[in-house]
Chains A and B, each alone.
Chain A
Amino acid sequence: MKTLYDKLWEAHVVRSEADGTSLLYIDRHLVHEVTSPQAFEGLRLAGRKPWRIGANLATPDHNVPTQDRDKGITDPVARLQVETLDKNCQEFGITEFEMDDIRQGIVHVVSPEEGATLPGMTLVCGDSHTATHGALGALAFGIGTSEVEHVLATQCLIQKKSKNMLIKLEGKLGQGVDAKDLVLAIIGEIGTAGGTGYAIEFAGEAIRDLSVEGRMTVCNMTIEAGARVGLVAVDNTTIEYVKGRPYSPEAEVWGRAVEAWQDLHSDEGAQFDRVVTIDATQIQPQMTWGTSPEMVVPVTGVVPDPAQESDLVKADGMQRALDYMGLEAGTPCSEIRPDVVFIGSCTNSRIEDLRDAAAVAKGRKVANTIKQALVVPGSGLVKQQAEEEGLDKIFIEAGFEWRDPGCSMCLAMNADRLEPGERCASTSNRNFEGRQGAGGRTHLVGPAMAAAAAVTGHFVDVRSL
């Protein structure tokens, strides 16, 4: 009896050392401009070539501008990095969706959209949010640049197996509660280091009920709970999602693949090193108040008080977070007023996310206290789809800016960033100090909640609108 993680792992071990260190074969490698240039340079210096060119798929996302694309990238340092990716991909023959390609976007949105992420694969990228792809039953994790070079050169990585954790979401999510609320509540429950050393499988009715896009939102933030790997077992929802995409198998191979994918679940009675059970019916819409994703409360709640925390190191961290965030303990969440709203990132920039946000924005106006409200689709194809559905018009009429795809204000490597002291309702994944711009203050929420904050001017339970 094996867990899903055990199965995926074992199917990819090329060889093992006595201490369990294994050489793991990698099926798919996603490449972006920030963590790859030094890896390509390393290959060149050593006179090496990529092991299997077709395993790689590249697109620039972190640095790309989200407006005035036709003018190119004005920041010369960012431009050089994107041009370096273009040059490296050309030199080594790697497929790249360049900045002007409709398929360009955030790697973690692009790959599943293209069918380049398939169930049962091992998939890596020099980006911690690679856990996203576990939503399709792929063993996917983020790596550093040395490992990017390693996988380019050998199609393998030297890894040690993680422990198994099962997070079981029992019951159904309430109306108006989404995948983001679910994962924020999980992180609040187990903490940002709760998953360290584990591969987490998410299971239970609330997970089964989610679309693949919702599952991606959950797996995406596994790293915010400390785990490199997040997984959801393959079911018909997964198979329906994968079918007919450009990289998906066809005809006879499709049939064989689907048959093999039937086994991509944990066996009945498989042993997990840790099991966490959460009552999904009790989860409320969530928002973070502090500078770590575990500093999260229901939007109906108040900012917590460090004086109530018995762990002194933790209390000190809470006080530091309150000071940084410019908040007082005991403040109701609904009295917190953002200056900026950001809807986007590899967590929440897919078509369903945009539909959720648009449903709230429709017929309403962004509050006049909001300085900027951005909607940044996850890929050119998501943008196109949204425009076909008229979502862009809804956003623009409400007073949002409708931008081109990229990572944008999630990490503010391009021009989209917070000014010191600015407060943001953000659908991204990290509320670290300075993450969205030096001195910026981030509150993480789901897309409907972000839109609700935009149109009311304060955080609000979206179910009350």
Chain B
Amino acid sequence: MDAFKKFTGIVAPLDRSNVDTDAIIPKQFLKSIKRTGFGPNLFDEWRYLDRGEPGMDCSGRPLNMDFVLNDARYQGAQVLLARDNFGCGSSREHAPWALEDYGFRVVIAPSFADIFFNNCFKNGILPIVLSSEIMDELFQGAMGEQALELTVDLEAQVISLPNGENISFEVGEFRKHCLLNGLDDIGLTLQHVDAIKSYEAKQQQNAPWLFTQ
């Protein structure tokens, strides 16, 4: 995983709540055995007018021009604004893979579904929770004639607006550390091999039924 660096990027506003992972990446693309290449099919059913299938060349497909990502203002967007309960539904990590492959680095919403939220951190995407009031302001800014650009500084936990306004945000210490340093969770856990082995040995004594196979 690449380390998360401070960056400035265009904001795309997706103004609906309860956006589920089926919408983020529809099921037919889950048949892939790869981790990459999902970007062209991000929000496939909303983004295109035809029915997408795996392996299709998306460059010539008819676009739904009413969908936010097809708006000229938001081309190259790296920050996604969303509403409540973003990423609900299926646990598919293909959803953050698709967002990441498309180019999103940050998703900002008033609330996220737990599994999606967790999956983002494993893929170098920073999910940020802000209050509905601040979200309304950001949506308003992003829907103006000019696209809105934000600077996201994870180290300082601050989002900076072009007007000089700064918005601070919360992030768990451990997750922040991993994201900033691009750390591999498995590598970190394997530093504790002895602790795992001793826990396991104790459990095998105390609760052998947990080891049936």
| B-binding residues in A (CB < 8 A) | 14-15, 17-19, 21, 23, 25, 27, 34-35, 37-38, 41, 46, 48, 51-55, 62-63, 75, 77-78, 80-81, 84, 95, 115-116, 118, 120-121, 126-128, 130, 142-147, 149-150, 153-156, 158, 160, 162, 192-193, 196-197, 223, 226-228, 247-249, 253-254, 256-257, 260, 292, 313-314, 316-317, 320, 411-413, 430, 432-435, 438
Contact = CB atoms under 8 A, between A and B. Distances in A.
Interface string B18-48: 1010110011101111110000000001000
A130 B32 CA distance: 22
Interface of B: 16-18, 20, 22-23, 26-28, 30-35, 45, 51, 54-55, 83-85, 88-93, 96, 111-115, 118-119, 122-123, 172-175, 185-186, 188-190, 192, 195-196, 199-200, 203, 207-213
28 contacts: A14-B192, A17-B173, A19-B172, A19-B174, A35-B92, A35-B93, A48-B186, A54-B213, A77-B54, A80-B33, A81-B32, A84-B33, A143-B118, A158-B189, A193-B18, A193-B85, A196-B85, A228-B114, A247-B213, A253-B209, A292-B18, A313-B84, A317-B16, A320-B16, A430-B89, A432-B23, A435-B27, A438-B51
A435 to B, nearest CB: 5
A80 B33 CA distance: 8
Contact of A63 (B31, B51, B54, B55): B31
A422 to B, nearest CB: 14
B44 to A, nearest CB: 9
A23 B196 contact: yes
Contacts of A253: 208-209
Contacts of B35: 38, 41, 145
Given A118-B209, A128-B115, A434 B26 contact: yes
Given A35-B93, A147-B122, A192 B196 contact: no
A154 B172 CA distance: 23
A142 B83 contact: no
A421 to B, nearest CB: 13
Contact of B196 (A19, A53, A156): A156
B210 A121 contact: yes
A38 B34 contact: yes
A142 B91 contact: yes
The residue in B34, B119, B199, B208 that gathers the most chain A C-beta atoms within 10 A of its C-beta is: B199
A52 B201 CA distance: 12
Given A143-B115, A196-B114, A19 B31 contact: no
A313 B83 contact: yes
Contacts of B83: 313
Nearest to A53: B213
B134 to A, nearest CB: 15
A84 B27 CA distance: 18
B118 A144 contact: yes
A438 B83 CA distance: 23
A19 B177 CA distance: 12
Contacts of B112: 196
Contact of B123 (A37, A146, A156, A248): A146
A256 B209 contact: yes
A450 to B, nearest CB: 21
A407 to B, nearest CB: 10
